[in-house]
Amino acid sequence: MLEWKQQSNGKTALLIKGARRVGKSTIVKDFAQKEYRTCILIDFSNVSKQVNALFEDMMNLDYFFIRLQTFFNVTLYNRNSVIIFDEVQFQPLARQAIKHLVADGRYDYIETGSLISIRKNVENILIPSEEEQLTLYPMDLDEFYWATGNDATPEHLKQIFAMKQPIGDAVHRKLMKDLRLYMLVGGMPQAVDAYINENNLQAVDKVKRNILQLYDVDFNKIDQSGRASKIFRNIPAQLTGNAARYMISSVTDSRRSDAISTIVSEMKESMVVNIAYNTTDPNVGLGMSRDLDSYKIYLGDTGLFVTLAFWDKDFAENIIYQKLLNDKLDANLGYVYENLVAQMLRCVGHELYYHTFPSGNGNHNYEIDFLISNGNKIVPIEVKSSGYKSHKSLDVFCSKYSSRIGDRILLYTKDYKKEDAVQYIPVYFTGML
């Protein structure tokens, strides 16, 4: 954000995208207070009709700014004030006005938004080109450490990863314990705050349930028939089923693939979920061969995933909490780690792809959990919460596409090692890939 302010110098607005409750408004307000003399924050999710009406006629910007300052009782200073359009998706006219406001040049503009792609909110609206975008994800593992007062471990992790050497049982156990706590709490700021202040996972779970209920309301706005909500609520069940793709037909009886594609696309744009597409011809340009009808859906935050997986049960009955805390997560719950890896890869900028291919005997398919590109090579990633000695899918895939393969990675819960061409990497290093 500071780089944008210094380099743009008023020539562009900044749009902060992210899921609801991920902390966009808090970060923007803090930035504005530190970097500007004054600011006006307009929260379009809770604003008066009079303020909304200001954006219906902006032919005279002098008049617009005078009325805006009067409404909010704030004085704006040329090149030293910022106007924040919070939850801008609720007032498309404000987003459209960015073009003219930026051209005017007097002040800086920051927008925040969720579910921005909902078509009914932006149809007939000219989306401004004078807009830079940043994406805010749930807090990653480093940020979770920082929030809990541990500034040292993130730096140590970077140094350890660069060494590509085992770190020993004692340190590894400590890092895995930290990671399991992060998986349970998640990276939504309110949940992390509840953990820090109350040191009580039941209180954390309550916060996460409130966030999930908010998302459910949002998804019902996307599709009033309830299909988006059903798709969302069934994410844990679909991953548990270990299918090669999300089986839409088992969740909703809709036969219109175009309607479902639109719903899934808007769910992805909400950033509440992460979508991994099956790539039919795995190569450096992974997106060129993605199958838009074959995908897996993950939650954007693994802490929310843990709560959603046992939504209909009391906190005390959520066996993921019990087993992660006691380091007893078995293979049947390995999909929790898969969701975590999807989240961690997405947070560092990787698009999510996987690949399935027939085993040859007709009984089942092989599957590579994730694929990322590195230079002119692709990197296959297999995720194991147990049973890591067997990785047939990875071996066959690397043999089949040997000329395209760079590193071969198995993410798992043990210490680092390398056997033959496969790197066995502790899952807490995922964000460094």
Identify the domain boundary among 135, 165, 185: 135
> How confident is the model at residue 272, as a pLDDT?
96
Identify the domain boundary among 135, 150, 181: 135
Shared domain for 221 and 79, answered yes or no, is no
Shared domain for 265 and 337, answered yes or no, is yes
Q: How many domains does the chain have?
A: 2
Nearest to 236 by CA among 322, 338, 315: 338
Identify the domain boundary among 135, 168, 198: 135
Shared domain for 124 and 267, answered yes or no, is no
Shared domain for 92 and 197, answered yes or no, is no
Tokens of 407: 């590193």
Shared domain for 70 and 197, answered yes or no, is no
Shared domain for 89 and 169, answered yes or no, is no
Could you tell me which residue, 340 or 325, shows the higher pLDDT?
A: 340
- The burial class, CB within 10 Å (0-12 / 13-18 / 19+), for 38 is middle
- Indicate the average pLDDT of the chain: 92
Who contacts 38 (Cβ-Cβ below 8 Å, separation ≥6)? 74, 75, 76, 77, 80, 81
Shared domain for 258 and 148, answered yes or no, is yes
The share of the chain scoring above pLDDT 90, in percent, equals 77
- Distance CA(296)–CA(370), nearest Å, equals 11
Contact between 112 and 84 under an 8 Å Cβ cutoff? The reply is: yes
Looking up residue 95, the CATH number of its domain turns out to be 3.40.50.300
Q: In this model, does residue 117 exceed pLDDT 60?
A: no
Q: Please give the residue range of the domain that contains residue 149.
A: 141-432
List, as own/partner pairs, every contact residues 310-313 make where C-beta atoms lie below 8 angstroms and the sequence separation is at least 24, other chains included. 311/209, 311/212, 311/233
Contact between 368 and 393 under an 8 Å Cβ cutoff? The reply is: yes
pLDDT tens per residue, range 309-334: 999 988 888 888 988 888 887 767 78
pLDDT tens per residue, range 148-193: 999 999 999 999 999 999 999 999 999 999 999 999 999 999 999 9
Shared domain for 114 and 152, answered yes or no, is no
Shared domain for 248 and 395, answered yes or no, is yes
Shared domain for 46 and 166, answered yes or no, is no
Global confidence as pTM = 0.92
How far is residue 74 from each of residues 37, 105, 195, 354, measured CA to CA in Å? Answer: 11, 18, 36, 51
Shared domain for 56 and 149, answered yes or no, is no
Tokens of 127: 């989306």
Shared domain for 187 and 247, answered yes or no, is yes
